[in-house]
Chain A
């Protein structure tokens, strides 16, 4: 299928992009890597009047170490994220989740910012951002603002990025030395996650000292399993992890679809959380 007609703008700075959005009005659409947007355009599920291609904005690319955090430009590709030593060393959970996104071709084009701004509830990285307390830098007509992950993801395919704004970067605090594992459960390798569990744990003396748990596809947006995180503190055995993981479905509100109903998703959340934590803790 062929997309409906649109105008095309390719700004080279964030300011130009914001200006183009303002000029484009309500029907303007930001194009990042395009790996979610292109099928939408082809199927004519969306018919923007103008597409603003942000893939040539240098400021939105690359991964830097700010000292206490890792800053990832919104236009950085999944492939670059997975191969980044900074990410692997300090935000290993993000690398683990990003490695599972779609396939090689899509990881070559798709971007961190695009995946976050698209906010698909089945996305692999938004729960990582939520669990790891990432923050989002957003540029708009009034300048820049920073939004914590807890306020960034609003609803199905909806984030705090306004219609006149552009996501510039995502900042992850360092989790150096933490164990990490992403347990993705899908029906075929290229299918979206039915449920996913992201776990990062800091071990101290063989026991879990701190834990961060994010869940994929367990609600309209990413879900943080706070009850599990609390219950895991001090856990040093598989039994203790399993007991904590029993709370994984608390506070979730998953959808039913052709692949899974609510009850099954809740069950998977518990099993996958247990497995992810056990692997992150080096106990499985």
Chain B
């Protein structure tokens, strides 16, 4: 298992992770570990109702409980009751209702927060919230999106007519394109991309503490976005930015769920400042299920038109996207991240997209691994299979006929994106070979002919995605408030070691290892001599954090440019020492050498001390050597791949099994293939989770029926297979390292592969769709309906 690796040629090697020693020995620094003297523990009074007017809040009972120091409702919190920010109004007329940290007028989802209690210990705080007396006047709960937008529906927010947050349009000309093809074959479907819970393993936790008598408040939070959080906390609380320091210590997963400025973060910050004491809150899993934002939840009407011989003509997509009860950081924009991806890898003449954002009395939605792109990929890959069936074409042959061929890149899609590179043929050929595609088709045929109660299906997903969010100019054009750049500073320390300061904020991805590999390779310094500093606005002041598979795609470029600049900054000192012109020096393996004179050489380490002592620096050169860069990417990056699933379906019970899962991903150049593979595994597992196991269910009153891990089923080891992963490498030409992004690819690709496999198994029985999650009952129901029996 153990490979001896040359750590001075690190890029592309499966280096074991630097992060692991502490994690494996339990010497971790989770936010909930922090115990500061004088801490007040916060407990929240959450609404048991989905929609109700608050008619009374009486805090006196709670205030009388032992160890309780303070309690607040919206009224008593007054000016400190800041609003949770939304930074992405997608249209000029997007309805942006207020979202106060404590709600005062109405509750808008189960788990909405009405009041809070602060006590000297967590148990007392939890005891006391039962003594806050809240009276509600129930209102009709708006749960179902179709009902929500119907005239006459109860309104979640008074200023959002028909509960509509916005209507967004893109493209057009679908009907015109169709009119040119009177013989067109059209397939329409309604897919439901169900609501999911991010379910990161570390529950959210926050400690906000005033630092002595200074004005500084330090906030430790289990967040993906310490830098964004600091800016937003300043904007909503008015606390000067220079007085806020946000630290994301060890963070146990996020998947988009910790990409937020949550009400609890606002409350802890405000109360720490007001009371001059540390305030701590750690969510329980029960709270997490209703209070951490959810993902997905779209109803997708999709229509694909083809010529009878199987060339795509056009695509029409009409979405209802569930916003939930409030807008959080980028709630409205999530469906738009998918908007560009419906045409996916295919060539067609017309694309027409519309999305309606809908308020309901449910937990707000926002980013969850893939954020819009899994929904798009699901819909297109599902309807491609349905069209192939309609045309009587083999589904892979249908894809091949319509996808962008590798010699056609760069290719501008009908949605307006320009894909820089790609090679769908290569990834698909490799995947089919690994899979044993033809053998499995033969087995499928045999099972069909013998009437085996366990049928076999082959699910295909040939996907691409846009990640590495993103060029700031593009984000601005989409009305997203922030930019998409990333920063890196690399400091050469006096002893020749290196500090690499990144603006990315890892929470499990392994940036400390991978970033060391990039810098180590460029600087010729062993990866163990590089310390990666991150996730602390005090130590790593500039950054845009980690989400949208952007950290390597954008942050990696900043590392490269910073390392290149460090070398250039060292060059005059080297030239001075070697008594040559700067241009006469070559840099390789950590040393400057005079061209043509290998004896005349000096290491970066030696230059580091020279730059530190500064005893003999050339004229005009300042002491110390570093390199800094802030990179705004040229474009998104476009990973792609082919995922194949062999699905066994027990037609008697509806239970399915993933017998074999093969995927070949093209994420461009790889810094650490071990980490890449791990990201694919995790993403695929989450995508399978959506396909087979997970889904939030509400009753008609808006109670969440899946509000614990006993009812919201995330897969265990026993519920998943091993995966066979492969890669092809088509480097990105718009990113300086040739890398793309890998964080979300697996989650984007796998869901349609699984469902296509189930439908493929059952198609001879007349099944042409199955609801997600494809629970045994949902599969069995689909079979019964196709048989014409009970449905």
Q: Do chains A and B touch in the complex (CB under 8 A)?
A: yes
Q: Classify the interface of chain B: helix, strand, loop or mixed.
A: loop
On whether the beta carbons of A185 and B653 are closer than 8 Å, the reply is: yes
Within 22-39 of A, Cβ neighbours of B (below 8 Å) are at 39
CB contacts (< 8 Å) of B715 on chain A: these are 188
On whether the beta carbons of A1 and B718 are closer than 8 Å, the reply is: no
Given known pairs A2-B122, A189-B719, the reply for A264 and B713 (CB within 8 Å) is no
On whether the beta carbons of A194 and B776 are closer than 8 Å, the reply is: yes
Q: Mark B120-142, 1 if CB is under 8 A from A, else 0.
A: 00110011001000000000000
CB contacts (< 8 Å) of A151 on chain B: these are none
Given known pairs A1-B126, A191-B713, the reply for A261 and B776 (CB within 8 Å) is no
Complex Cα distance A5/B126, Å? 11
On whether the beta carbons of A267 and B780 are closer than 8 Å, the reply is: yes
CB contacts (< 8 Å) of B693 on chain A: these are 187-188
Within 180-195 of A, Cβ neighbours of B (below 8 Å) are at 185, 187-192, 194
Q: Mark B712-729, 1 if CB is under 8 A from A, else 0.
A: 011111110000000000
Given known pairs A188-B716, A264-B780, the reply for A4 and B286 (CB within 8 Å) is no
Within 114-165 of B, Cβ neighbours of A (below 8 Å) are at 122-123, 126-127, 130
Q: Classify the interface of chain A: helix, strand, loop or mixed.
A: loop
Complex Cα distance A39/B652, Å? 35
On whether the beta carbons of B127 and A264 are closer than 8 Å, the reply is: no
Within 264-283 of A, Cβ neighbours of B (below 8 Å) are at 264, 267-268, 271-272
Within 6-30 of A, Cβ neighbours of B (below 8 Å) are at none
The residue in chain A whose Cβ has the minimal distance to the Cβ of B781 is A264
CB contacts (< 8 Å) of B652 on chain A: these are 271
CB distance from B690 to the nearest CB of A (A): 14
Picked from A5, A43, A261, the residue with its CB within 8 Å of the CB of B777 is A261
Picked from A5, A39, A188, A191, the residue with its CB within 8 Å of the CB of B127 is A5
On whether the beta carbons of B284 and A1 are closer than 8 Å, the reply is: yes
- Is residue A230 contacting chain B, with contact meaning CB distance below 8 A? no
Picked from B127, B130, B286, B776, the residue with its CB within 8 Å of the CB of A43 is B286
Given known pairs A188-B713, A263-B790, the reply for A258 and B653 (CB within 8 Å) is no
On whether the beta carbons of A4 and B127 are closer than 8 Å, the reply is: yes
The residue in chain B whose Cβ has the minimal distance to the Cβ of A274 is B652
On whether the beta carbons of A259 and B777 are closer than 8 Å, the reply is: yes
- Is residue A85 contacting chain B, with contact meaning CB distance below 8 A? no
On whether the beta carbons of A258 and B706 are closer than 8 Å, the reply is: yes
On whether the beta carbons of B653 and A268 are closer than 8 Å, the reply is: yes
Number of A-B contacts (CB under 8 A): 53
CB contacts (< 8 Å) of A1 on chain B: these are 126, 284, 286
The residue in chain B whose Cβ has the minimal distance to the Cβ of A264 is B777
CB contacts (< 8 Å) of B711 on chain A: these are 258
On whether the beta carbons of A187 and B713 are closer than 8 Å, the reply is: yes
The residue in chain A whose Cβ has the minimal distance to the Cβ of B695 is A258
On whether the beta carbons of A258 and B697 are closer than 8 Å, the reply is: yes
Picked from B127, B655, B716, the residue with its CB within 8 Å of the CB of A189 is B716
CB contacts (< 8 Å) of A271 on chain B: these are 652-653
CB contacts (< 8 Å) of A185 on chain B: these are 653, 655, 776
Within 227-284 of A, Cβ neighbours of B (below 8 Å) are at 258-261, 263-264, 267-268, 271-272
CB distance from B288 to the nearest CB of A (A): 11
CB contacts (< 8 Å) of B713 on chain A: these are 187-188, 191
Within 182-215 of A, Cβ neighbours of B (below 8 Å) are at 185, 187-192, 194
- Is residue B775 contacting chain A, with contact meaning CB distance below 8 A? yes
CB contacts (< 8 Å) of A39 on chain B: these are 710
Complex Cα distance A44/B715, Å? 27
Complex Cα distance A264/B705, Å? 19
Complex Cα distance A259/B717, Å? 21
Picked from B284, B716, B777, the residue with its CB within 8 Å of the CB of A260 is B777
CB contacts (< 8 Å) of A258 on chain B: these are 697, 705-706, 711
CB contacts (< 8 Å) of B717 on chain A: these are 189
CB contacts (< 8 Å) of A272 on chain B: these are 653
The 28 listed contacts between A and B (C-beta, < 8 Å) are A1-B126, A1-B284, A2-B122, A2-B126, A4-B127, A5-B127, A43-B286, A185-B653, A187-B713, A188-B693, A188-B715, A188-B718, A189-B716, A189-B718, A190-B716, A192-B710, A194-B776, A258-B705, A258-B706, A258-B711, A259-B775, A259-B777, A260-B776, A260-B777, A263-B790, A264-B781, A271-B652, A271-B653
A-side interface residues toward B, CB under 8 Å?
A: 1-2, 4-5, 39, 43-44, 185, 187-192, 194, 258-261, 263-264, 267-268, 271-272
B-side interface residues toward A, CB under 8 Å?
A: 122-123, 126-127, 130, 284, 286, 652-653, 655, 693, 697, 705-706, 710-711, 713-719, 775-777, 780-781, 790
New A-B contacts (15) at CB < 8 Å, excluding given A189-B718, A259-B775 = A1-B284, A1-B286, A2-B123, A5-B127, A44-B130, A185-B776, A187-B693, A187-B713, A188-B715, A188-B719, A191-B710, A194-B776, A259-B777, A260-B776, A261-B777
A-B interface, 8 closest residue pairs, ranked by CB to CB distance from nearest? A189-B718, A2-B123, A188-B713, A1-B284, A188-B719, A264-B777, A258-B697, A189-B716
